[in-house]
Amino acid sequence: MSRPDPAGLADLVASTLGRRPSAESAERMAAAVEGVGEALAALAAESLFDTEPQNLETVLAELAPPAEGSR
């Protein structure tokens, strides 16, 4: 994953908030976005096209121990 252009991110923030972040802030944003992209790739989140949607509560219930006990 390549690092996004900090100036482009600064434009994005400026268009939302009406003020431009510093160059240093924009660099930090770019690094953060890059890190998230890498983490999603590690989770194989880029290949979701053929996966069925799942409900969080259902998955948690399936993975829980029997309701009455803790062992």
Partner 1 sequence: MTALTHLSLVEAARMVRDGEVSSRELTEACIRRTERLGARLNCYISFDPEGALAQADAADRRRAAGETLGPLHGVPLAHKDMYYREGVVTTCGSRIRRDFRPDRTATVLTRLEAAGALNLGGLNMSEFAFGPTGHNHHFGPARNPWNTAHVTGGSSSGSGSAVAGRLVFGALGSDTGGSIRLPAAMCGLAGIKPTQTRVSRYGVMGLSYSLDTVGPLTRTVRDCARITEVIAGHDPLDPTSSRRPVAGYEAAATDPDIRGTRIGVPANYYYDGVHPEIRSALQASLDVYRSLGAEVVEVTLPDAEATSVIGGALSGTEAIALHRAWLRDRPDDYGPQVRARLEMTLAYPAGDYLAALQVRPRVIRRFVEAVFSRCDVLHCPILGFPVPTIAETDVADSPEMRKMITDMTRCSRPINYLALPGLSVPAGFSSSGLPLSFQLVGRPFDEASLFRFGAAYEAAAGWVEQHPGEDDTGG
| Of residues 2 and 42, the one with the C-beta less far from partner 1 | 42
* Rounded Cα–Cα distance for residues 65 and 53 (Å): 23
Tokens, residue 21: 């972040």
Closest distance to partner 1 from the beta carbon of 2 (Å): 13
CB of residue 45 to partner 1, shortest distance in Å: 4
Q: Using CB under 8 A as the criterion, which residues of the chain lie in contact with partner 1 when the complex forms?
A: 4, 9, 12-13, 16-19, 21, 24-25, 28-30, 32-33, 35-40, 42-46, 48, 51, 53-57, 59-65, 67-71
Which of 2/28 has CB closer to partner 1?
28
Residue 64 CB-half CA count within 13 A: 11
